[in-house]
Structure 1
């Protein structure tokens, strides 16, 4: 009986600890992630940001910049062979310009396009105060990729946008984000990898390389809390 009793106790203990861990895993991982990127206090001080870099695609580099004010507006702009590419997002409207896709001037975004962009106005982090923002998180266990192990957490925002984040089990930094977006009536799965994290002004850590598969956004400079003219977020 004793031999049987000990394994049963071990199994019961293991099940109990597993249930306990699952109940708190998502929030624990998120807390460690926030600490890894500089901490909540530092990020809450970030009200504006300017990013300068280059889009690398098919051996070509296209200079670009992003000017953003937290929860107010964002403008991404690049230029290639005299063609100017622009994407503007605000809480209520958005516009895009892409001469190579037949948009020679700023054109309004569709509701679906705006819905996929609007959560990006949160330049601090979607995980900071996520409950207050109306978002929810759910642990999806672990996964392995490229020889590394990752925690998987699904984030659902109040706008009903869903993304699955892969957190490195050693550093707790986000390695990859998978999102399903709607384009021209079709659902498309996007995977974005965040690499080369560096600490910038204000003690916050951001990825300087964002791999979107067909193109890479290589950051060269990040300015924290610069003065940004809100006129950049209009279609004038």
Structure 2
């Protein structure tokens, strides 16, 4: 009898603590959204145009980013006077890399497009996460290079996961981690965010660093941001490939 009562008590304790953690996670989510500017101001952003520079090794590349609801993004980087384009139109991710010998657009693989699609979501992973079919778990507090951070684990509707790290003091996003498959190897891709500034009531990180497998692959700094300018959907659409030239028929 005592054993049964202890078992019931243990089950109840687990259920209660689970509910408390779920409530705590939602509390943290709300604080993080508020720190970024709040739901109303974030949802008021329909388009974003970002001008900046990307530093990759010794190269300094001018970058122009355009984002539009829902889930559209186009990134242009000028490399040796040639423009590299990566874009997502809400359905297909594509790219043009002219210095590889072709100006033709090509579809980006699902794995390689993950980080691009993630950046296309203006709302980010927290707003309306339940409506999106996602779940969020409060993992706890950690130390990130001397800064106390709160770690949230996001499980997407498709079963994939990502980890978010927020400053425990001001609730600003400091790090976002996902895992992708590259040549049959799983690689962790981390985005680090800093130098936050307010633009139209919303906090944006003016410096972001991308790392893969622990190594820095790019550093991006924002120079200017424009909100809610008209952007045609055609900007994000993959252009048609050039038709092969027909060889002249031989005269008989």
**TM-score of the superposed pair, with normalisation by structure 1:** 0.85
The question of 1:147 aligning with 2:146 is answered: yes
Question: Aligned to 1:112, what secondary structure does the other structure show?
Answer: coil
Q: Residues 123-168 of structure 1, C-alpha deviation per residue, up to 9 Å, x if partnerless?
A: 1222111111111111111110211111100112224332100111
Q: Residues 58-114 of structure 1, C-alpha deviation per residue, up to 9 Å, x if partnerless?
A: 232100111111124211001121221100112221111223456543211123334
Judge conservation of contact 1:56–1:62 (CA < 8 Å) in 2. Answer: yes
1:226 is displaced (CA, Å) by 1.0
Please give the alpha-carbon distance, in whole angstroms, between the structure 1 residues aligned to 2:25 and 2:100.
41
2:242 paired residue number: none
* Aligned positions of 1:187-226 closer than 5 A: 187-201=186-200, 203-212=201-210, 213-226=216-229
Please give the alpha-carbon distance, in whole angstroms, between the structure 2 residues aligned to 1:49 and 1:208.
14
Question: Aligned to 1:75, what secondary structure does the other structure show?
Answer: strand
Question: Aligned to 2:95, what secondary structure does the other structure show?
Answer: strand
Please give the alpha-carbon distance, in whole angstroms, between the structure 1 residues aligned to 2:196 and 2:30.
18
Judge conservation of contact 2:82–2:98 (CA < 8 Å) in 1. Answer: yes
1:122 paired residue number: 121
Question: Aligned to 2:127, what secondary structure does the other structure show?
Answer: coil
Please give the alpha-carbon distance, in whole angstroms, between the structure 2 residues aligned to 1:135 and 1:204.
24
Q: 1:104 to 1:167 in 2, by over 3 A?
A: same
1:224 is displaced (CA, Å) by 1.1
Q: Larger deviation: 157-166 or 110-119? A: 110-119
Please give the alpha-carbon distance, in whole angstroms, between the structure 2 residues aligned to 1:154 and 1:102.
41
2:51 paired residue number: 52
Q: Which has the larger radius of gyration?
A: 2
Unaligned runs of 5+ residues in structure 2 are 1-12, 211-215, 240-252
The question of 1:227 aligning with 2:230 is answered: yes
1:96 paired residue number: 95
Please give the alpha-carbon distance, in whole angstroms, between the structure 2 residues aligned to 1:102 and 1:190.
28
1:7 paired residue number: none
Please give the alpha-carbon distance, in whole angstroms, between the structure 2 residues aligned to 1:159 and 1:49.
27
Judge conservation of contact 2:71–2:122 (CA < 8 Å) in 1. Answer: no
Q: 1:85 to 1:161 in 2, by over 3 A?
A: farther
Question: Aligned to 1:113, what secondary structure does the other structure show?
Answer: coil
Judge conservation of contact 1:36–1:172 (CA < 8 Å) in 2. Answer: yes
1:115 is displaced (CA, Å) by 4.8
Instruction: Please report the RMSD computed on the Cα atoms of aligned residues, expressed in angstroms.
Output: 2.1
Please give the alpha-carbon distance, in whole angstroms, between the structure 2 residues aligned to 1:88 and 1:124.
18
Number of aligned pairs? 220
Q: Larger deviation: 21-30 or 225-234? A: 21-30
2:173 paired residue number: 174
Q: 1:191 to 1:123 in 2, by over 3 A?
A: same
The structure that is helix-richer by fraction is 1
